[in-house]
Chains A and B, each alone.
Chain A
Amino acid sequence: MASVAARSFVFRQQMNTRRFDFASCLKIKSFYSSYSANPKEKSPENYTQYHEVSSDNWKFVERLKPPTVVPSFPKNGSCFSDWTPPPDTPPNLPYFVKRTKNFMVPVYLNFEAVRNQRKITMVKHIEGDIWALEKAIKSHLEEVTKRQVVSQVHEVAMYIKFRGDYVLHVKKWLLNAGF
């Protein structure tokens, strides 16, 4: 199924006194849209010089590129940040909070679009008894902040929201719980 190369015929009118010859005035413009329409490759002398570099040098390019998939964290050594690696064994609780793909604790601060912007603390990636987890975190937050905490439990999407900015408290609680 060879595709035909597109051609356009351009008439070039001669200004001088030469006879108007059909063949001489035609300029065929070729658009090389197919393999067979392209001119054949000539011998190397007709082209600019090049020299091949060792393919081992590709590693210098590769190390500049960001990794496509999240790499695993180093097992040994401490981090200068507050980050702690996820534990090897899960805690003995009726619920589980999975780390994100970047091994972070899944607690986020959202802002609700109301008149006076409302801060919402959201806990995601929950598995198991979500109500028990909500009760546990809520009681801890009420103990720490000494005020009533309003919460929302979404059983389908499996997340909990607390009205207020308790991100650090919740993260600390989850890390202490062993998630």
Chain B
Amino acid sequence: MATKIINKTVTELSLRITRCFFVPSKTIQTNATLFQERLETSITNVEEQLPTTIRPPLPIIHSRKLAFPPKFKAPRQVWVSNMDTVEEEKLGLIDLHPEVFAERPRVDIIHENVRWQQLYRHVSYANTKMRYEVRGGGKKPRQQKGSGRSRHGSIRSPIWRGGGIVHGPRSPTPYFYMLGFNTRLNGLRSTLSAKLAQDDLHIVDSLDIPTDDPSYLEKLVEERGWGPAVLFVDDNDIMPLNITAASDSHGHYNLMPVYGLNVYSMLKHHTLVLTLAAVERLEERLLFHLNRNDAASAGQKYRLDSV
């Protein structure tokens, strides 16, 4: 098992994050060496695949300072779990800022965000020809007067069968628009609050798992009652090797950096798993945006009506 971890190369894995470049780093070496040490000391039982993890006295994490401390709203307390074992071990209890995680979920704003995420990159390639594009129709079909029939200038005018279409689809038609800054911000807040309220939000200390076996993740998610689809969010966009390898074969276990967090992905996955680092970063960014006065300048570059 230990050699399997070391010998696996980048080319054998298709990493989920497009910007994720694997760097053989200390992470793998420490995982592998620790694993080897434990293998030597642990009982050589065939059923016992994974070693027991060594932990300092709990709780490891017991306090957290909140930026922009809430005045009259109580912070929400959440358990911090581990990813080292299949069974859930609670490492501590932390506070989550109520303005980020305990907002009244606005379903209409969530819907607007989902619609925007789907539409802004949509380009319609449907096309119809106008009267000047349809082949033929340059010549006047018959004389203006004398035939007793109606007068026409072209056989491809819109009133003719086979003629051009007046207001039809014109390819390519972009549907790009930018949702307002506060709408996007409140979309994230509403979705995070809804996830927490519906017991679909879990905090873990880190995404380090002991093995790169895909079945480890399956067992873990099954054991803890996490939804079929899980979104793991970390602060860094270079994820540990083991979880990358384990989740690679599963389309429903996805890894994401904090800057990629969006309403559509959060709704698409049943469970959202944030690391402590991700929570810190997320709160810091969202609270900054909530308390800044120059948000209008952030959306300036997306304005379509101004130069």
The reply to whether B72 and A157 contact each other, CB–CB distance below 8 Å, is no
- Chain B interface residues (CB < 8 Å from chain A): 71-72, 104, 106-108, 288, 290-294
The reply to whether A70 and B72 contact each other, CB–CB distance below 8 Å, is no
The reply to whether B106 and A70 contact each other, CB–CB distance below 8 Å, is no
Q: A90-B72, A96-B72 are in contact. Are A158 and B104 (CB under 8 A)?
A: yes
A64 at interface (Cβ–Cβ under 8 A)?
Answer: no
Query: By DSSP majority rule, is chain B's interface helix, strand, loop, or mixed?
Result: loop
Rounded to whole angstroms, the CA-CA distance of A68 and B52 in the bound complex is 48
9 contacts between A and B (CB under 8 A): A66-B293, A66-B294, A69-B292, A96-B72, A101-B290, A101-B291, A101-B293, A156-B106, A156-B107
The reply to whether A70 and B104 contact each other, CB–CB distance below 8 Å, is no
A70 CB, min distance to chain B CBs, angstroms: 5
A179 CB, min distance to chain B CBs, angstroms: 11
Q: A90-B72, A96-B72 are in contact. Are A70 and B108 (CB under 8 A)?
A: no
The reply to whether A69 and B72 contact each other, CB–CB distance below 8 Å, is no
Rank and list the top 3 A-B pairs by shortest CB-CB distance, nearest first.
A69-B291, A90-B72, A70-B291
Rounded to whole angstroms, the CA-CA distance of A86 and B107 in the bound complex is 30
Identify the closest chain A residue to B107 (Cβ).
Answer: A156
How many A residues, CB 8 Å from partner?
13
A102 at interface (Cβ–Cβ under 8 A)?
Answer: yes
Interface string of A49-73 (1 = CB under 8 A from B): 0000000000000000010111000
- Chain A interface residues (CB < 8 Å from chain B): 66, 68-70, 86, 90, 96, 101-102, 127, 156-158
Residues in chain A near residue B291, CB distance under 8 A:
69-70, 101
Residues in chain A near residue B288, CB distance under 8 A:
68-69
A44 CB, min distance to chain B CBs, angstroms: 37
